[in-house]
Structure 1
Amino acid sequence: MSRTAIVSAMHEELRALLPLLERPQQAEFAGRRFHLGQMMGRPVVLVLSGIGKVAAATTAALLLHEVEVERIVFTGAAGGLGAGVRVGDVVVARELLQHDMDASPLFPRFEVPLTGRARFPSDPALSDALAAATLHCLNDARTRIGEAHLADFGIDSPLLHEGLVISGDRFVATAPESEQLRKLLPDALAVEMEGAALAQVCADFGAPFAVLRTISDRADDSAHVDFSRFIVEVASVYTREIVASWLEGASFA
Structure 2
Amino acid sequence: MTDDLVVMLTAFNAEYKAVHERLTDVTLHRHDRGTRFEIGTVRGTSCRVALGLTGKGPQSAAVLAERAIQEFSPAALVFVGVAGALWDTPLGDVVVATHVYAYHGGTSEDDGLKARPRVWEADHGVSQIAQHIARAGTWEPGVPPGTAVHFGAIAAGEVVHNSRLSAEARWIREHYNDAMAIEMEAAGVAQAGHLSGSPVAVVRGISDKADGTKTTAADRNWQPQAAANAAAFAVRLATELVRERKQPTMKDNTTPGTIYSTSHGQVGIHAVNVTGSTVYQNGRPPSPTTADLAVELASLREQLSHEHAGGRLDGETYDAAQVELDIAGGALESPTPEGRKTFVLALKRLGGLIADLAGLAAKVTALVSAAKGLV
Q: TM-score range by the shorter chain?
A: 0.7 to 0.9
Is the helix fraction higher in 1 or 2?
A: 2
Report the secondary structure of 2:158's partner residue: coil
Q: 2:160 aligns with which of 171, 182, 190?
A: 171
Equivalents in 1 of 2:153, 2:144: separation in Å? Answer: 30
Q: 1:209 to 1:146 in 2, by over 3 A?
A: closer
Describe the superposition over 1:30-61 as per-residue Cα deviations: whole angstroms up to 9, x where unpaired.
Answer: 44321123222112201111111111101111
Asked if structure 2 preserves the Cα contact closer than 8 Å seen for 1:169 and 1:193, the reply is: yes
Whether contact under 8 Å (2:62, 2:189) holds in the other structure is: yes
The residue identity in structure 2 corresponding to 1:162 is F
Give 1:226's match in structure 2, choosing from 196, 200, 218: 218
2:11–2:55 contact (8 Å) kept in structure 1: yes
2:45 pairs with 1:33: no
1:36-55 map, 5 Å: 36-39=39-42, 40-55=45-60
- Aligned pairs, number: 233
- Residue segments in structure 1 that go unaligned for 5+ positions in a row: 112-117, 148-156
Which one scores higher on RCO, CA 8 angstroms, separation ≥ 6? Answer: 1
Contact 1:52 1:193 in 2 (8 A): yes
Give SS of 2:16's match.
helix
The one of 70, 73, 76 equivalent to 1:71 is 76
Aligned to 1:120: 120
- CA-to-partner distance for each residue in 1:198-239, whole Å, 9 max, x for gaps? 11111111111110111111211012351133122x123213
Aligned letter for 1:17?
Answer: V
Q: Deviations over 1:107-146 (max 9, x none)?
A: x7334xxxxxx21111122123234334555x788x6245
Query: What secondary structure is seen at the aligned counterpart in 2 of 1:128?
Result: helix
- Is 1:160 equivalent to 2:149 in the alignment? yes
Work out the CA distance in 2 between the residues paired with 1:72 and 1:247.
9
Aligned 1:1-253 pairs, distance under 5 A: 1-2=2-3, 3-29=5-31, 30-39=33-42, 40-82=45-87, 84-103=88-107, 109-111=115-117, 118-134=118-134, 136=136, 144-146=142-144, 157-177=146-166, 178-224=169-215, 225-232=217-224, 234-250=225-241, 251-253=244-246
4+ residue segments displaced more than 6 Å = none
Distance 1:67 1:249 in 2: 19
Alignment root-mean-square deviation, CA: 2.5
Cα distance change of structure 1 residues 216 and 45 upon mapping to structure 2, 3 Å threshold: same
**CA gap 1:131/1:231 in 2 versus in 1, 3 angstroms:** farther
C-alpha distance in 1 between matches for 2:205 and 2:230:
8
Q: Deviations over 1:76-97 (max 9, x none)?
A: 1111113x42322221101111
- Measured in 2, the distance between the counterparts of 1:186 and 1:243 equals 26
Structure number with greater Rg is 2
Q: Contact conserved, 2:94 with 2:230, CA < 8 A, in 1?
A: no
Q: What is the distance in 2 between the residues matched to 1:71 and 1:183?
A: 33
CA distance in 2, matches of 1:67, 1:146: 34
For the residues of structure 2 that align with 1:18 and 1:159, how far apart are their CA atoms?
22
Q: Find the residue that maps to 2:21 and give its secondary structure.
A: helix
User: Which stretch of structure 1 is more off in the superposition, 54-63 or 64-73?
Assistant: 64-73
- Output the amino acid matched with 1:132: H
Classify 1:242/1:189 alpha carbon distance in 2 versus 1 (closer, same or farther; 3 Å).
same
The answer (yes or no) to whether the contact 1:92–1:131 under 8 Å persists in 2 is no
Q: Among the aligned pairs, what percent are the same residue?
A: 24
Q: Could you say what secondary structure the match of 2:25 adopts? A: strand
Render the CA deviation track for 1:127-184: whole Å, top value 9, x for unaligned: 23234334555x788x62457xxxxxxxxx3432212111011101122233431122
Structure 1 contact 94–124 (Cα < 8 Å) conserved: no
Contact 2:58 2:187 in 1 (8 A): yes
Report the alpha carbon displacement of residue 72 of structure 1 after superposing the two structures with TM.
0.4
Task: State the secondary structure of the residue aligned to 2:165.
Answer: helix
Q: CA deviation at 1:186?
A: 1.3
Amino acid in the other structure paired with 1:176? L
What is the one-letter code of the residue matched to 2:196?
A: F
Letter in 2 for 1:168: G
- Of 38-47 and 124-133, deviating more is 124-133
User: By how many angstroms is 1:14 displaced?
Assistant: 1.5
Contact 1:10 1:48 in 2 (8 A): yes
Cα 1:31–1:100 shift into 2, 3 Å: farther
Change (3 A) 1:43 1:186: same
